[in-house]
Amino acid sequence: MKDMPSIDREKCQACGLCVSICNCGALVMSGNNVKVMDASNCGWCTLCELVCPYGAISCPFEIVVERDPGPE
């Protein structure tokens, strides 16, 4: 499974805002919980993190320096 947004279960109140804004179906309501699906088209728009009123969703970025390809 590729990296997906992660949910802090202790903070999540299952309000469903993230599910409503997610365009790729990565987040769905499953009973009284928000479930993260392995959505291949999740482009890391981070909208779910932005709208979460409880700070329960994290979409972290790895920060790297592009390696010099060196001589061909």
Q: Which residues bind another protein (CB under 8 A)?
A: 3, 8, 43-44, 46, 49-50, 55, 58-66
CA distance linking residue 69 with residue 53, whole number of Å: 43
CA distance linking residue 63 with residue 12, whole number of Å: 27
CA distance linking residue 65 with residue 34, whole number of Å: 34
Decide whether 10 or 72 has the Cβ nearer to another protein.
10
Decide whether 1 or 31 has the Cβ nearer to another protein.
1
Shortest Å distance, C-beta 10 to another protein: 9
Q: How far is CA 28 from the centre of its chain?
A: 12
Decide whether 19 or 59 has the Cβ nearer to another protein.
59
